[in-house]
């Protein structure tokens, strides 16, 4: 049996149920709607940010990383044609495979010229026009190896570490001019990067690594880069779980990271010698 006290409280319970069903649920759905609207606005702003923009994208085939004089001339020609550059994507790069002991200093310099000095020179050539307009976005396509190094990639990793450091400094210095700087650090991408890599003596590597062959689609990575630029992100890692975790492991547990890299070096050396 229901007691008189309980019977009196029933109308209050029903009233509370009514309030919950008519007020709280719509509020929840309203919050979800606001979140969806926020994401939609982000998407629209990203598209508007890129629409009709003058975008310069460098590539390894251009040879811009090899000659600073060519870079300055190319920058001047670009500015003469368009008057300004909204977005610069430093994408030129060359990979490397070899042991440190066998690698000539000329190879180290060649990799550094293409992967580091090339983007730096072009950025510096276009930067004054961006500062004058107080508008521009500079993107550096670095690598996950710009945040941690793996064996037999010394020249490549060094060039990408230098790239990360330079553009991190640039971001801080350009904040007063409202110029955006984004560093993208991809993992393995299914391209010919390993095939076109150079070896310790400067010759072409000519091998499609398994990790590269199993890498992400270039189209997918390009879409992610486009999204990151549209959202004006500052630093983006585009890698699978294990490489991403390795970056944090390098910082949080360096001893363990170094042991794992030493083990990797032993396995790779043994595989080559067998």
Residues with catalytic function: 156
Q: Is the dihedral of CA 39, 40, 41, 45 positive or negative?
A: positive
How far is 268 from 255, CA to CA, in rounded Å?
20
CA distance linking residue 176 with residue 266, whole number of Å: 48
| Packing angle, helices 118-133 and 68-82, rounded to 10 | 30
How far is 259 from 249, CA to CA, in rounded Å? 11
d(CA 247, CA 237): 10
- Length of the chain counted residue by residue: 274
Query: Which positions ≥6 away from 185 have C-beta within 8 Å?
Result: 142, 143, 144, 146, 147, 164, 235, 236, 237, 238, 239
Distance of CA 38 to the CA centre of its chain: 24
Alpha helices in 55-137 (DSSP H): 68-82, 105-112, 118-133
CA separation for the pair 4, 204 (Å, rounded): 91
Which is nearest to 199 in space by CA: 63, 113, 95?
95
Q: What strand order describes the sheet that includes 137-141?
A: 55-57, 87-90, 137-141, 180-186, 235-238
Which of the 8 DSSP states describes residue 192?
S
């Amino acid at each position: 049996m229901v007691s008189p006290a309980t019977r009196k409280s029933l109308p209050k319970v029903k009233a509370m149920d009514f309030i919950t069903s008519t007020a709280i649920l719509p509020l929840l759905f309203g919050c979800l709607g606001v979140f969806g609207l926020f994401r939609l606005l982000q998407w629209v702003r990203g598209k508007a940010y890129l629409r009709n923009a003058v975008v310069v994208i460098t590539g390894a085939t251009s040879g811009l990383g090899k000659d600073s004089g060519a870079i300055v001339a190319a920058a001047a020609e670009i500015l003469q044609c368009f008057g300004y550059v909204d977005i610069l994507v430093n994408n030129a790069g060359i990979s490397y495979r070899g042991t440190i002991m066998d690698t000539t200093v000329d190879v180290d310099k060649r990799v550094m010229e293409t992967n580091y000095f090339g983007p730096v020179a072009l950025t510096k050539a276009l930067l004054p026009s961006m500062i004058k307009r107080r508008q521009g976005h500079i993107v550096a396509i670095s690598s996950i190896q710009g945040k941690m190094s793996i064996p037999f990639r010394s020249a490549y990793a060094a060039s990408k570490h230098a790239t990360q450091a330079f553009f991190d400094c640039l971001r801080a210095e350009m904040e007063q001019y409202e110029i955006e700087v984004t560093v993208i650090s991809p993992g393995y991408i299914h391209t010919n990067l390993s095939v076109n890599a150079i070896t310790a003596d400067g010759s072409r590597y000519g091998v499609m690594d398994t990790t590269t062959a199993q890498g992400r689609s270039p189209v997918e990575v390009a879409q992610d880069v486009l999204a990151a630029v549209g959202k004006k992100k500052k630093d983006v890692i585009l890698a699978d779980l294990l490489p991403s975790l390795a970056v944090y492991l390098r910082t949080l547990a360096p001893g363990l990271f170094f042991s794992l890299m030493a083990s990797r070096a032993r396995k790779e050396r043994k595989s080559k010698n067998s």
